Structure 1
Amino acid sequence: MNVSVIIPAYNAAPFLARAIDSVLAQEYPVAQLILVDNNSVDGTLAIMHSYQQRYPQRILVAQCKRQGVSAARNRGLALATGEWVQFLDADDTLDPRKLSAQLALVQPRTEWIIGGYRNAYADGSTLNNIPHPDPWRGLVFGYRAGCTHANLFRRHVLTSGIAWEESLPDNEDPTLCFALLRAGVRWQVIPEVLCTYHHHPTPGRLSLHDAVGGKAREVALLRAINSHLAATAPAYWQEHAAYFQAALLRALRVQATFDLTGATATFQTCFPQGLTGIDWATQQLLPKVFIQAYQLFGFHRSEAIRLTLSQILPSRLLQRLKPRNPQP
């Protein structure tokens, strides 16, 4: 099973060698490593060419003129020849066993492997993210449907009508996962943590940062997922309606932090009758007090109170008031 690895990069000189070295250190031999420069103005392209000169049979350097991580990934995908495709952002890393461990367990009909990953923070702390056994529920909460480099794809799946959405400046991963699930792509969860998502302030990241627009797009995606499941899998959606609606409420709550007016308008559209008709006791994602507050005071007033309190309460107390993530 040949593997093509695709690394898109924009002004990634401080991190790129670390990412490339993690690919070259794989126990499973990588047949093709495609490095895609996305209009970098630092030393990114020079680093790419230096590795290509050292490994001319394995490394291909390409350029993508259209700005954006999805365009750069699709550019690499067009050049890939492996049966499997591994994406890796230029500031993240794969464990040496990433490919060997996943491919050793892959089932013959699997087209999409969903894996675990660790978050590594600037203070040296780490936090593992284990995929949810149900990727639909993993998709709507906690990024538990894998992430770009935690997952692995059969190439034919991403060259037959499903690809990275180039019009999006963010939310690319969950949008792709939604497309895969909606298309019925055969998935397999392998929960072992085999790669690292490195968190650090990087103004030059390929994914653009737009808090207001990004949260609005996240809410729109969750609405689309709810609508799709309610229409195509009504029995499943009804069984888990509280979970999916609570995930939407959590996203609306975050959106309200940046755009209370927009979040309130969306809440009124999504819940025109208020929070009736859902057995919220089974939802797992929001403490009961939040549901009660929305029912008693309404969404806008509840969130306005929260935003006011956030300006005057000590941070330690605010942390205690945040909704807790459910246990895996």
Structure 2
Amino acid sequence: MTAERPTVSIVTANYNGARHLAAAVRSVLAQTLRSWELIVVDDCSTDDSLAVIEAAAGGDPRVRVIVQARNGGPAAARNRALAEARGRWIAVFDSDDLMAPERLAKLVRRGEADRADVVVDNLCVFTDGSDEPWKPFLAGRDYGQPRWISLADYIGSAKMYSSRPGLGYLKPLFFGEVMQGVRYREDLKIGEDYELVLRLLARGCRMRLEPEPLYRYRKHSGSISHRMRREHIEQMLAADAALEAEIAAHGPEVRRAQAARRKSLESAIAYDRVIERLKAKDLAGGVAASLAKPDIWPLLTMPVAARVKRLGERLKPHPTAAAA
């Protein structure tokens, strides 16, 4: 570890991520900004993650590995990394993702020029093992230029089953001073990034969007974010409730956004209960549960709608056939 304070501390939680770790570490080593430290906290992996990190780092002293004494989940691992971080800025980076080489330099430049407390960039989403083209997560005029993201914007994007992209998926760069004493809620297994940024925005921190898709977000079957269960939603509701007073103090637009998010989470739980009963062949129970919560009726059509959409894609003429 060098004595000089790095510009950016990159904090990474890892659990059995050996398959993608080498590529993730190499994308950090390739950054055009050279003043950084990478703190990887391994959450008691049972694969060869530690050997992969050591090989990929190639002895670079800027890469540090901390091994947890017990498995505590991604929030606990990130908190351990935050406690060790020395950088002027702190970047959150997942062990299965990648960064464009110029990402850290551009985000630091954006944050310092605009005096932001939090900087986020667009995501470039790709599917592991697929030949599908990479695509930006945020699209449209609203995200084509640098902009401030308000508390109402942030909460409004976080409704369940919304067509609007969730800003909580963006990976933040935090100004180190605003993170003094701020830590992740370790009882959250999904949505911990969203909740931490929500707290900062509710306390007056300013978040700036860099429109370039510099973060490479990998979609794959092992991703935690693709395995949401009812208890995860209940945890998110509890976390939101703990911030209710702070959020409500920001006025009617924020309160409306929060009420819509809460309603969507409650509907998601009700929907899960209906599906659970239908899967158990309890038709009467499923119908009764759906009648008690009529706002979930549109959700019950989702599996059918998805199948129709896939069928439509298969029935589309092949480009070569259309040209003929």
With normalisation by structure 2, the TM-score equals: 0.73
Q: Tell me how far 1:215 sits from its aligned partner.
A: 2.4
Q: Tell me how far 1:187 sits from its aligned partner.
A: 2.5
Q: Tell me how far 1:197 sits from its aligned partner.
A: 1.3
**Structure 2 residue aligned with 1:48, among 48, 53, 57?**
53
**Structure 1 residue aligned with 2:136, among 123, 128, 133?**
128
CA distance in 1, matches of 2:120, 2:212: 10
Q: Tell me how far 1:25 sits from its aligned partner.
A: 0.9
User: Secondary structure at 1:81's aligned position in 2?
Assistant: coil
C-alpha distance after superposition, 1:153-178 (max 9, x if no partner) = 122322x2211111222211111111
CA distance in 2, matches of 1:52, 1:253: 46
Counterpart for residue 59 of structure 1: 63
Paired residues for 1:145-294 under 5 Å: 145=167, 147=169, 150-158=171-179, 160-202=180-222, 209-221=227-239, 228-230=246-248, 232-237=249-254, 241=256, 243-260=257-274
Q: Tell me how far 1:91 sits from its aligned partner.
A: 0.4
C-alpha distance after superposition, 1:206-232 (max 9, x if no partner) = 6794411122333445566665433x1
Report if the CA contact (8 A) 1:260-1:303 is conserved.
Answer: no
Paired residues for 1:16-165 under 5 Å: 16-55=21-60, 57-66=61-70, 67-107=72-112, 109-122=115-128, 123=130, 124-130=132-138, 133-136=148-151, 137-141=153-157, 142=164, 144-145=166-167, 147=169, 150-158=171-179, 160-165=180-185
Q: Tell me how far 1:43 sits from its aligned partner.
A: 0.7
CA distance in 2, matches of 1:152, 1:114: 6
CA distance in 2, matches of 1:256, 1:221: 19
User: Secondary structure at 1:32's aligned position in 2?
Assistant: strand
Q: Which amino acid aligns with 1:147?
A: Y
Q: Which amino acid aligns with 2:62?
A: R
How many pairs does the alignment contain? 276
Give unmatched runs, 5+ long, in structure 1. 263-296, 321-328
Q: Tell me how far 1:26 sits from its aligned partner.
A: 0.9
Report if the CA contact (8 A) 1:118-1:126 is conserved.
Answer: yes
User: Secondary structure at 1:107's aligned position in 2?
Assistant: helix
Report if the CA contact (8 A) 1:113-1:187 is conserved.
Answer: yes
CA distance in 2, matches of 1:210, 1:34: 27
Q: Tell me how far 1:319 sits from its aligned partner.
A: 10
Report if the CA contact (8 A) 1:170-1:208 is conserved.
Answer: no
Q: Does residue 3 of the first structure (1) align with residue 8 of the second (2)?
A: yes
Q: List 4+ stretches of structure 1 deviating above 6 A.
A: 311-314, 317-320
Give unmatched runs, 5+ long, in structure 2. 1-5, 158-163, 277-289, 313-324
Report if the CA contact (8 A) 2:187-2:235 is conserved.
Answer: no
Report if the CA contact (8 A) 2:25-2:57 is conserved.
Answer: no
Q: Which amino acid aligns with 1:168?
A: L
Counterpart for residue 283 of structure 1: none
User: Secondary structure at 2:121's aligned position in 1?
Assistant: strand
C-alpha distance after superposition, 1:76-95 (max 9, x if no partner) = 12222111111211101111
User: Secondary structure at 1:82's aligned position in 2?
Assistant: coil
Q: Which range is displaced more, 9-18 or 115-124?
A: 115-124
User: Secondary structure at 2:119's aligned position in 1?
Assistant: strand
CA distance in 1, matches of 2:78, 2:305: 44
Q: Tell me how far 1:127 sits from its aligned partner.
A: 3.8
Report if the CA contact (8 A) 1:113-1:151 is conserved.
Answer: yes
C-alpha distance after superposition, 1:266-286 (max 9, x if no partner) = xxxxxxxxxxxxxxxxxxxxx
CA distance in 2, matches of 1:186, 1:302: 34
With normalisation by structure 1, the TM-score equals: 0.72
